[in-house]
Amino acid sequence: MERGKTSEVLKWTLIGSGIAAGAALIPLIPMIKRRAMRVTTMLTNDHRLVSGMIATLEMTPRLNSMIRRRLFEQIRMNVMVHAQAEEEILYPVMRNLMFMHGESRVDESYREHQQIKDLLSDLQRMDPNTDAFDNKFEHFKSHLQHHVEEEESEMFPVVRQRMSTQEQERLGQRIRDRKMGLKANMAA
């Protein structure tokens, strides 16, 4: 076969293989969507999103005050919306699911949220180009990471063990709806 024809055949073989692989995944789409709606998946995705924004802010030079301020405001808004939705919807459910240990663990989560909110409030009043901001931001980041680790290692496994997939999806939908409402209120 000529070189031009060989590359043309190879190109169409690769394209056909890609289409076939994509078509093979189509039956899995509803399952992937359902998993994305599970409360633990949704909240874990929120954690990773904020973690990425934190890393971006930390890498942004102080010369870019406006960019650092906007990144911080995005972090603050995402954390505040996430925390309020958890407090209103997830934590009451957790009290029931965790029985004896639920009271103290959920109470601790509320306290941790309040500490994080207080740090965000302090940071909001600070110049993002100062050492003081960076030091306070590091304190915020440390508190947030501790809270996320506890939530993902202690609470989320309980949700997965004690709730059916459908219950997890319904809880995820309630949290998603509440977060959308909170974001709309903040934008208004």
Give the pLDDT confidence score for residue 7 in this predicted structure: 64
- Chain Cα centroid distance, residue 187: 20
Alpha helices by DSSP H, 86-164 = 91-97, 99-124, 131-150, 156-162
Report the SS3 class of residue 147: helix
Structure token digits, residue 185: 């209120």
Amino acid 65: pLDDT: 86
| Residue closest to 17 by CA, chosen among 6, 7, 9, 29 | 9
Write out the chain's pLDDT in tens, 188 residues: 565 666 666 656 656 555 655 555 565 444 444 456 899 999 999 999 999 999 999 999 988 889 999 999 999 999 999 999 999 999 999 988 887 665 788 999 999 999 999 999 999 999 999 999 999 999 999 999 999 999 999 999 999 999 999 999 999 999 999 999 999 988 87
Helix 165-187 with 39-59: angle, nearest 10 deg: 40
User: How confident is the model at residue 32, as a pLDDT?
Assistant: 43
- According to DSSP, residue 128 is labeled T
Name the residue with tokens 């209120």. 185
The pair of structure tokens assigned to 182 is: 């909170």
Residue recorded with tokens 């934590």: 91
Per-residue confidence (pLDDT) for residue 102, from 0 to 100? 54
Domain extents in the chain: 1-30, 38-187
CB distance 113 to 83 below 8 Å? yes
**The pLDDT of residue 24:** 58
